[in-house]
Structure 1
Amino acid sequence: MQQAGVKVLRTWGFNAINATELPSALESGLTHYQVWNSSTWVLNDGPQGLQRLDNVINTAGKYGIKVIVAFTNNWVGYGGSDLYVQWISGAGKPHDIFFTDPEIIASYQAYVKTLVERYKDSPNIFAWELMNEARCLSDTLPAGPTCVPGSNTLKTWYREQSDFVRSLDPDHLITTGGEGHFYWRKPAEYWFNHSLVSDYNYNGQAGEDFDHDMLLPNIDFGTYHLYPQSWYPELDFPGSNWTVENWGLKWIDEHIKAANKADKPVILEEFGVSGLQNKSTIYPTWVQRALDTRHAIMPWQFGELGLTEDGGNRIIKYADAINHGASPNDGNTFYINQTAVWNIFTRAAKIQDARSG
């Protein structure tokens, strides 16, 4: 990463498992920070737990890289927010209760406090991130009737949790980790199957309101993500006049406009397309637009070759695996041997570095 010009990386500050998974986790060496067996989780700060996050943060610092730490996940991957819902509130509750239930919020804040107090004096921390991709729904639980467009459920949670983190750490930056969904009173629409469809990314259904979330006093910079290829599969087909590239450029423009209005920086924090040809042709235009509009960029995701654990073939969890020495690849991962893609990002890093002096 240092050789590629990376100055800031983002990593998960969460890895939670159920107690029933603990024996296999111990046997396989699986990283885990929280173990759930009741309405109270147990912290693992040992050599298979937070000591591994210590290693990530300390190693980053040795190479002049700072770290954004995300506190939990909207999705089931690595034991996200739904574990809080399932263990504290029980079966049958909607996902968005995570953002409103006092007992769940207290449990989340207890874990956040553990991480912030552990690392707030580290010079290697760049920012705290409240949650990866907060939405009203998750991949395992639906949204409830109180998390709807205009309910401000996520905005209220962003405000309360950013204020809480600020009370623990007055010095480091704080951001949401959101995908940057808008809540426009006249949301974008598109034609599909002879019908006019209200666009999920603009109608507030996801729960975010990027324009107003950016204005919260303890949200120091904005984040948004960019995956039109997977967000609009019904529009992305040969012969369509809709293109992944052009939609992405519009999405970038709309977020820099909102960030400028709020007078705050913004990071294109995750973006990806599948296929090497797509990456090598689409990324240059997205990255250049981000550079032209004074964005920061964090492509999803940085991959590594030549890994040797378990002979270079290691099952981790959620179908993640080291495969023939290469780190897990969800189709968006890029590697140093993919020169056409790699050079796009190393060039951008040099430009950003020159700008920052």
Structure 2
Amino acid sequence: MRTLPAVRRYLGFLSLSVLAACNALPEAGEDAAPASDSQPLAVPTNFLYRQGKQLYLNGAPYQMVGVNAFSLTGCGAVPTDAQLDAFFAGLRPNSLTRTWAFRPQGLARIEKVVRAAEKYNQKLILTLADGRSYCGEWDGYNGSDGSGKQPSWYSSGYRTNYVPWVREVVTRFRDSASVGMWELLNEPGDADTATIKAFFNDVSTTIKQLDPNHLISSGAWAPWAYGGEAGFQSLHDVPNIDVGSLHEYDYDYNNGNTIVSPHFGPSIRAMNALNKPLIIGETGINAADSNCRTNRTTRRDAMRQKFQQYLGGGAAAVFVWNWGPNATTACELTFGPNDPLIPMIRDFPLAEVPPPPPPGDTVQLNDATLGSGVGQFQYVGTWEAGTGTGKFQQDDHYSSTANASYGVLFEGTQVKLYGSAASHHGIASVSVDNGTPVDVDFYASARQDQKLLWTSPVLSAGTHTLKVTVSGRKNAASSGFVINADRVDVTRPQGGDTTAPTVSITQPTGGSVPVGAVTVSVTASDASGVARAELWVDGVKLAEDPTSPYSFTWNATAGQHSLVAKALDTAGNLGTSATVNLSVVGQQLVDVQVNDAVVGTGLEQFLYSGTWQTGTGTAKYQQDDHYTSTTGASYTVRFNGTQARLYGSAASHHGIASVSIDNGTPVDVDFYASTRQDQKLLWTSPVLSAGTHTLTVTVSGRKNAASSGIIINADRVDLTVLR
């Protein structure tokens, strides 16, 4: 969030909202989604962690509504010690507050805020820098026009001042339970999504190496800033980014009192696809007692509706912009300690969430753990996957196909069947060890998720099979035959399985491997069944695989690396393999941007043929380009790598270029657009074999019917090259 005067804020957010596409929210109910993690992570007591799309605290699912309060750490009106104490004392326990941890404010102020949060059992999202370059955050600043970091900062400039600061702050507070999560950057932007993603990957890996126990949030703006839903999803598809972020101010700025931002639909869909939580990092409404479109009471009530809609729609947390230590009178987003928002936020009824796993020797099995082994669900017939906040680990399977069934192999003395009872649900046929089946009715007049539907008799200790079949029957009150699979609880004998799985890396086994994609094979076994295997590289989890044979692809970079595999069994025991030390040799692939003004005959240089002119413009890459309307004029760029991406200006007087690689069959690339778009991605080559290649762009002299000219410009080429 830019700390701008109210008028500039309004104009800025108005212009942003015009870009929003009207995307529908994901429908609630039984829709397909990837499975959540099935076991709690090994994190210290009172640290936030995540399993799939859900945040957790001390074994219990965690939702939160809270505030942004950037002045806590020294940006703007700094609260006194008494105001700081009053702020944290007035929040609900274990609340979550988002604030700045920028370098200009210094460690001493941040230390005071963290210690105050610890005193009152509160948590913080600490944002490590500002993409918008306010509050003295000038590192990589683009200019005096209020824009953010330069693209060159995201490419490499961040390593100069930002990374040392990150290391200092993270090292100082990595053991504090009052750090709820680190946030890489407030509102990253002003660079292409691939560059920001590479920045995310580098810094998040650095943080996890220093502090593997705290979550990391992106601090992202909204999908429109990253090329839409696909770009937003790609940006967050980074192993060590735990939490996605959406900022929206769409209440007062879309000619109506919008409750759910049009950006929420694509954001939650993108994060659901990645099986990661989404937080609404900023949302706000201008208000005042008078002379403002919205008064403070109306704002409070609208914000309550936002909380309800966003949490109900799958968001993990929502944060209002912005608390300040002093009372306010102007029509603005900032609110003081006496605003009616404060008690509403403190007392807002968070939705009931599934309880934590029970103590003792009971194991909860999730429907998304697939396979034929112990503790796994094996489906026969037609089943579909669904999601819902009330379901166990927010997912289930369901079917209305008669005789479709699922089986669960388990070790224990009793099994309990949990599922969703609803008005369109039918009767299941349930048995243990192929014994006489019993009817279990999944009907209820009002929906009840995670309802205990059936308990088996006490069984002899050993391995058993639960089978649940869609009977195709229903009671008279039901409107359907649906049966769902959600959760099975297994009771084990006292002193049950405490043996960790055996796990090892079978490939590679050591020595040297080349740079690039390396296949890592893992074996894991356990008497009670393996829930998943994980690959850890240099102390950071790279990926996990729930299904044997366990295989991972590691994009190896040059240097010395250590690999460790871990396996979790269905009883929650964790096994760790021996370490495999590797030397990765050879070149590695990196992405570079080449400007049109870099002229020559060498690699990664533009070589022009024919008549070209030079131009300037603030929106062009590095504020310059070349252009021509001379048919047959061309330029070439030679590179040693695997891919080229062509960027240029699309405009109403531009024509069609002929583009080829290595003098192969050319393709037409249209530079026309009804309104000008600078630095537009116009064409991407296929992935090429590693080696030297030549990109050629030629003015064809042709245009589409809507264009008024045949101009082609040269602005920038992005290359994936060997270094």
Partner residue in 1 for 2:493: none
In the alignment, which residue of structure 1 is the partner of 2:452?
Answer: none
Secondary structure, counterpart of 1:154 in structure 2: helix
Q: Could you tell me how far apart the structure 2 residues matched to 1:297 and 1:201 are?
A: 20
Structure 2 residue 127 is the aligned partner of structure 1 residue 70? yes
| Paired position in structure 1 for 2:109 | 52
Per the alignment, residue 14 of structure 1 pairs with 102
Amino acid paired to 1:222: G
Q: Which residue of 1 is the match for residue 250 of structure 2? A: 228
Inter-CA distance 355–347: structure 2 relative to 1 (3 Å threshold): farther
How far apart are the structure 1 equivalents of 2:108 and 2:300? Answer: 37
| Alpha-carbon offset, residue 12 of structure 1 | 0.8
Matches within 5 A, 1:327-338: 331-338=332-339
CA 1:58 to 1:272, structure 2 compared with 1: closer, same or farther past 3 Å?
same
Establish whether residue 345 from structure 1 lines up as the match of residue 358 from structure 2: no
> Structure 2, unaligned stretches of length 5 or more?
1-87, 288-295, 357-723
- Distance, in Å, in 1 between the alignment partners of 2:141 and 2:161 is 10
Distance 2:109 2:184 in 1: 20
Shift of 1:351: 1.6
Decide which structure has the larger Cα Rg and report it.
Answer: 2
Q: Report the CA distance shift for 1:130/1:208 in structure 2 as closer, same or farther (over 3 A).
A: farther
After superposition, the Cα gap between the structure-2 partners of 1:250 and 1:356, relative to the gap in structure 1 and judged at 3 Å, is: farther
- 2:204–2:240 contact (8 Å) kept in structure 1: yes
Instruction: Tell me what 1:266 maps to.
Output: 278
Is structure 2 residue 151 aligned with structure 1 residue 96?
Answer: yes
Measured after TM superposition, the shift of residue 219 of structure 1 is 0.5
* 2:235 paired with 1:213: yes
Match of 1:297 among 309, 318, 335: 318
In the alignment, is the contact (CA less than 8 A) between 1:15 and 1:78 conserved in 2? no
Query: Is the Cα–Cα contact under 8 Å of residues 126 and 173 in structure 1 kept in the other structure?
Result: yes
- Report if the CA contact (8 A) 1:135-1:208 is conserved: no
**Cα distance in 2 between the residues matched to 1:356 and 1:133:** 34
Match of 1:245, SS state, is coil
Mapped partners of 2:126, 2:101: distance in 1: 5
Q: Which amino acid aligns with 1:170?
A: P
* 1:122-201 correspondence runs (5 A): 122-136=176-190, 147-148=191-192, 152-179=194-221, 181-182=222-223, 200-201=224-225
Q: For the Cα contact (< 8 Å) 1:302–1:335, is it kept in 2?
A: yes
Q: Deviations over 1:169-199 (max 9, x none)?
A: 11111111111x22xxxxxxxxxxxxxxxxx
- Give the match for residue 91 of structure 2: 4
Shift in CA distance, 264/329, structure 1 to aligned 2, threshold 3 Å: farther
- Find the residue that maps to 1:73 and give its secondary structure: coil
- 1:303 and 1:328 in contact (8 A); partners too: no
Q: Which residue identity does 2:270 align to in structure 1?
A: A
Is this contact kept in 2: 1:11–1:68, CA < 8 A? yes
Looking at structure 1, the residues matched to 330 and 98 of structure 2 have their Cα atoms a distance apart, in angstroms, of: 16
Higher relative contact order (CA 8 A, sep 6+): 1
Aligned residue number for residue 118 of structure 1? 172
One-letter code aligned to 1:261: A
* 2:425 equivalent in structure 1: none
Task: Report the count of equivalent residues.
Answer: 255
C-alpha separation between the residues in 1 aligned to 2:353 and 2:233?
30
Distance 1:216 1:159, change over 3 A: same
Deviations 1:247-301 (A, max 9, x none): x343333322222221111111110110236523432321110121242111112
Which residue does the alignment assign to 1:245? Answer: 258
Residue by residue over 1:77-106, the C-alpha shift from the partner in whole angstroms, topping out at 9 and shown as x without a partner, is 2122x434579xxxxx971211012x5424
Residue matched to 1:83: 139
Alpha-carbon separation, structure 1, partners of 2:312 and 2:220: 23
CA distance in 2: counterparts of 1:326 and 1:355, whole angstroms: 39
CA distance in 2, matches of 1:272, 1:12: 17
Q: Residue deviations 1:38-70, cap 9 Å, x none?
A: xxxxxxxxxxxx222111001101101012111
Structure 1 residues without counterparts, runs of 5 or longer: 17-31, 34-49, 88-92, 137-146, 183-199, 237-242, 305-324
Q: Give the TM-score normalised by the residue count of structure 2.
A: 0.32
Compute the displacement of 1:162 (Å): 0.9
- Tell me how far 1:15 sits from its aligned partner: 4.5
The alignment-based identity, stated in percent, is 24
CA RMSD in angstroms comes to 3.1
Q: Partners in 2 of 1:117 and 1:329 — Cα distance?
A: 40
- More strand by percentage: 2
Report the TM-score, using the length of structure 1 for normalisation: 0.63
Aligned partners of 1:286, 1:123: CA distance in 2, in Å?
28
